Amino acid sequence: MEKAEFSKIRKKLEKTQKQLAALLGMSLKTIHSYEQGWRTIPAHIERQLFFLLINQRQRHNQLTPCWEQKECNEKEDCPAWEFQSGHLCWFLCGTLCECTSESTYREKVNVCRSCNIFQSLIE
């Protein structure tokens, strides 16, 4: 995640830097460092920001689950189906779509960024 995207998500969440620092359990200086590009934004912070953004909108209740959208034949073996979290497939490691089951979160989210399911959630 780049500094501009971090800033954009903070604004979409309607949080000040201080409020976001408290929400993420970190210092205000760390938030400043992310937004200035002085520090790399860790994967777990990126993941948490996307989670907050998506759940803030409460749109996940109206979404078609990923396994239906992708007509998945392996859904019973996938964590997204197991936990009935078709809108959180990007968040869960070990999902079976797009060959991401053996990926790290950083590798997985790069694949997910091009997926229409993920893109529809963050727009």
Render pLDDT for 75-120 as a digit per residue (tens, 0 to 9). 888 888 888 888 888 888 888 877 676 778 788 888 888 888 888 7
Show me where the domains of the chain are located. 1-42, 58-123
Measured between its terminal Cα atoms, the distance across the chain in Å is: 16
For the cut 90, the answer to whether the pLDDT of residue 4 exceeds it is yes
Tell me the pTM. 0.74
What burial letters (b/e) apply to 91-115, b meaning 16+ CB within 10 Å?
bbeebbbeebeebebeebbeebeeb
**Sorting pLDDT into bands at 50, 70 and 90, what band is 2?**
very high
Instruction: For residue range 17-43, list pLDDT tens digits in order.
Output: 999 999 899 999 999 999 999 999 998
Give the residue carrying structure tokens 């991401």: 100
* Residue 28: C-alpha distances to residues 9, 10, 23, 34, 48 (Å): 16, 13, 11, 10, 17
From 100, 47, 107, select the one nearest 78 (Cα to Cα).
Answer: 100
Give the residue carrying structure tokens 């993920």: 118
For the cut 80, the answer to whether the pLDDT of residue 60 exceeds it is no
